[in-house]
Structure formats: C-alpha cells, structure tokens
Structure 1
Amino acid sequence: MEWIIVTAASALAGFVDAIVGGGGLVLLPALFATFPAAAPATLSGTNKGAAIWGTAWAASQYARRVSLRWGALAPAVAAALVGSFAGAWVLTLISAEGLRKALPLILLAILIYTLAKKDLGREHAPRFEGRQEAWLATGVGLTIGFYDGFFGPGTGSFFVFLFVRLLGYDFLHASASAKLLNMSTNAAAIGLFAWKGHIWWHMAAVLAVANVAGSLLGTRLALKHGAGFVRGVFIVVVGALICKTGYDAFLR
C-alpha cells in the first residue's frame, strides 16, 4: 500500500510539474506522510531523485516544440546550478525560519498580481535581446537557484512568474524555460543528497517511472492548450502553495 500511495503521488506530481512546476507540493508531503519515521533529508533526496526525470522529460518535449531562447537560458542554467549549491551550503549555517514565514505572503502577492493583470503571460513578447536578456535570465537563475537550495517550495512557480514578468514570455514559454533551470537545481540537490547518502535509490527508480508518465500527460496538455491553460494551472498551484506554506508557517 505504501508503494501504491507514493507511486500515485509521483505520477500526479509529474503531471503538475510538467505544466507549471510545483510537483514537490504533491510528492514530498506524500513521502512524509507515508514514511513518518524516515529522515527528512532522505525523503527530500528521494523526491528529487524521482522528480528530476519527469522534469528532464518535460524539458526535452518542450525543447522540440517550443522555440526556446538558448542564448539567455544556457548561462541561466549554469547560474541556477551554482545558486542551488550556494543555497544548500548557506542552509548548513543559518536557519530558514524567517523565510518560511515570509513565503506565503510572497506567494500571495504573486497570486494577486497575476489575477489583477489578466493579460499577463498570454502573449509571447520577449522584452529584451542579446546580452541584456542573458544577464536578466542569469540573475533569475542564480537567485531562484539559491532559494531552491536554501528552502525550495514553489521554485518552479517562481521561475515561471519571473520569466513572464521580467522577460515578457508567455506562460507556455516561461514554463518550458523553467524546466531547464529546475532540472539544474534538482541536479545540484541530488549531488549533495547522494554524497550524504540521503536517497532511497530503489524507491526513487520506481517513482521516476511514474513521474515521467505524469509528465508526459502534463506536457501534452500544456502544448495542446497553450499559455491560457498554463496560466490557469499556475493560479491553482500558487493558491495551493499559499495554503500549504501558510499552514506550515503559522498553524502547524
């Protein structure tokens, strides 16, 4: 029964993550609920070990069908990797308690802004070119990569929102771009968790298969229905993140 629960959660996580990010909102709580006696780092490592495969699959599918701006994304991916390592290192030195309490408020501001700007992310109209776009994308990668290594919840949604708001991408192109950066931050985390022995590889392998299956369906729906559909899922996922992070910060 434990395997059935977490495998189903991994498939749903892959589905959600492929569209707009936020798969950790599904799989990680399922792992914690199913294996309450396990070390948190082990569950987080197992989650990353499974999720990176669904993210990689989604990234490959988007890359085939969506025109990505590789000149800006390549340095951003490298910056996200560095930022994630740095964030994980800082986490070993200081507490993330203050950020944990601020996160639901930050997400709420993003949700309100997105709802207020009804045309936000519906049209793909990049605002910058060349080096300027590359520097901004690199800044996004470094900042959110650091956040992912240091804390983590909502990383994919932050990537999507910043690509839409700062760079002028529509939600579909922003989600496709976010997959590449999120794959980089996950790889950094996996390297750290593997080094510390905090991944259940036998479980991660099974969960990875389910995650890819969910990712396949989510990617197809996103590509079929376009930016408006991705925007709607983004709003739902951010709303769920507000509820989850708010409960964790103030009620638990």
Structure 2
Amino acid sequence: MEFGLLDWSVLLLGAAAAGWVDAVIGGGGLVLIPLILAVAPQLAPATALATNKLAAVFGTASAAFTMVRQVRPSRRVLAAYLPVALGCAGSGALAASLIQASVMRPVIIVLLLAVGSFVALRPGFGAGPEVAVPSGWRRWAALAGVAVIGFYDGVFGPGTGMFLIMAFTGLLSQNFLTSAAMAKVVNTATNLGALLVFALGGHVLWLLGLSLAVANVLGAQMGAKTVLGGGITFIRGALITTVVIMSGYLLYQQFSGL
C-alpha cells in the first residue's frame, strides 16, 4: 500500500498526537484509528485497529518506562497484573468480532459520565496520602478490575487508560500519579495481548504500524513529561476533559450510525 507525502504527514502527526493523548490519560486510538481509515478507506476496521495497536504498544511502553523511573510504583504488584492483562486483552480481541460496537458504546458512555461525575464531585479523590500496603481484598479487586478492563481493551478499547487509573486509585488507595504510571505499564500489556491475536489473524500492516510507532513514541514521551510536570492536578483535569470529549465522540458515533 502506497501513501503520498500528504498522507504520511497526516498519519505521522496523528500518531504523535495519539501518543501524547495515550500517555496523558488514554484514548489515543480515537485519534489515530479514524485517521488511518480516512487516509486508507479501503482497509478493514480490524486492520486499522490492529495497526494502531502496533504503534500504541511502542508508545505506551515508552511512556511507561519514563513514568515508572520517576514514580516507582510497586514492581511486585505490577508483575501480578501483567499476565492477567495480556491474557484478558487477547481474549477480548478474539471476541471482538462477536460484540457489536453499537452495543458497547451506550455502556461505555454511561461509565464515562459516571467516572467524570465522581471525580468532579470528589475533589480529594486521587490526591490524598497512599496506603502503603493495600489489604488483601483490595489487591484481588484490582486484579479483577485489570482482567475486566483488559478484556474490554481487546474488544473495544476507548478509555482503557482512564479506567485503569480510576481502578488503581480507588481500589489501591493511591494518588493519580502513581496510578497513571501503573496504568501505562498494564496498558502496554493489554495492547500487546490484543496485538498478538490480531497478528496471528494477519490483520497488521507491519511497515505502516512500525512507521507510526516512531511518531507515537515521540508523542508519548512528550505526554509522559507533561504528566510528570503537571502532577495530580493536571491528571485530574485531563481525566474530566477526556470524559467530556470521549462521551461526545461516542454519542456522535452512536447516533450517526458509524
């Protein structure tokens, strides 16, 4: 598949923007997937989704590396979540063809609005002192949350990073910054799990995906530095802004029949 200079410019700029959005709060696929389909309308949606996952794996991993070096969340806790995230996202990707997007969107819109309302009405959420060693039930609940969100990422995806941040903050009594660093690591695993399934199905455009990955990494690095510089207050504002934008976008898709 050949692209002109303008096509490549649009795709690479879009990949960089998607990397920044993903690193900040998640949802970069809402930027890059429509661009891929706009530039190459002949592609199957599964191919666009799979190629986006290839770029996102590299971008999210690079953001995770940068943030974990500074925030230093528990590696032992993360190690328990990664295989669950990988496996459940792969299962979700296998089930993606069986679940209609038009069925998923209303559920996700309600969840997004609930998340946004909760954060807006609870100014202290995600900003207080952390619990050094969460109780056993909290760790198991967080593991279950990772499984559900990982499956969701394989099936549909928008907002995965944000849902992970909320789950880690609420269930492990962490601040937003620690949860954001953990979310990036786990989101890397969910992206990889879905990508493996898509790759086995022959849906990935490798040259395009790897080219977009370079731009995605650059955007993700800028996004990670933005989060680290802005801290908890920035993440809180970004989360509420993302809820508004994603809800509006999904409502548009739902009622326009896309």
Fold match, TM over 0.5? Answer: yes
Which aligned pairs between 1:228-247 and structure 2 lie closer than 5 A?
228-247=233-252
In structure 2, distance between residues paired with 1:128 and 1:240: 35
Amino acid at match of 1:145: G
Q: Which amino acid aligns with 1:16?
A: V
**Aligned counterpart for 1:66 among listed residues 60, 63, 71:** 71
Equivalent position of 1:189 in the other structure: 194
Within the candidate set 55, 74, 89, 1:50 is matched to 55
| Matching of residues 1-252 of structure 1 within 5 Å | 1-126=6-131, 129=134, 131-252=136-257
| Deviations, residues 6-48 of structure 1 (Å, cap 9, x unaligned) | 1101101111111211111211121122221211111111101
Give the distance between the partners of 1:29 and 1:179, measured in 2 at CA: 23
Q: Deviations over 1:124-177 (max 9, x none)?
A: 413752644432221121110111112211111111111122222211111111
Conserved in 1, the CA contact under 8 Å of 2:90 and 2:196?
A: no
8 Å CA contact retained: 1:21, 1:175: no
Aligned counterparts of 2:228 and 2:33: Cα–Cα separation in 1: 26
The residue type paired with residue 8 of structure 1 is L
Q: Is the 8 A contact 1:71 1:130 kept in 2?
A: no
Structure 2 stretches lacking a partner, 5+ long: 1-5
RMSD over aligned Cα, in angstroms? 1.7
Instruction: Give distance in 2, aligned partners of 1:117 and 1:127.
Output: 22
Aligned 8 A contact 2:93 2:198 in 1:
no
8 Å Cα contact 2:26-2:159 kept in structure 1 = yes
For structure 1, which segment, 95-104 or 7-16, has the greater mean C-alpha deviation from structure 2 after superposition?
Answer: 95-104
How many pairs align?
A: 252
Instruction: Please give the TM-score of this superposition, normalised by the length of structure 1.
Output: 0.94
Code of the aligned partner of 2:249: K
Contact 1:80 1:145 in 2 (8 A): yes
Aligned with 2:114: secondary structure? helix
C-alpha offsets along residues 49-88 of structure 1, whole Å, 9 cap, x if unaligned? 1111110001111111112022222111111112112222
Supply the distance in 1 between the matched residues of 2:124 and 2:34 (Cα, whole angstroms).
33
- Report the 3-state secondary structure (helix = DSSP H, G, I; strand = E; otherwise coil) of the residue aligned with 2:197: helix
Secondary structure of 2:167's counterpart equals: helix
| Aligned amino acid, residue 53 of structure 1 | F
Aligned mates of 2:209, 2:12 — CA distance in 1: 10
Quote the offset at 1:207 in angstroms.
0.8
Give the deviation of 1:245 after TM superposition. 1.1
Q: Which runs of 5+ in 1 are unaligned?
A: none
Distance 1:41 1:131 in 2: 39
2:3 alignment counterpart = none
Rounded Cα–Cα distance in structure 2 between residues aligned with 1:112 and 1:89: 33
Identity among equivalent positions (%) equals: 38
Letter in 2 for 1:23: G
Distance 1:70 1:46 in 2: 29
Q: Is the 8 A contact 2:88 2:193 kept in 1?
A: no
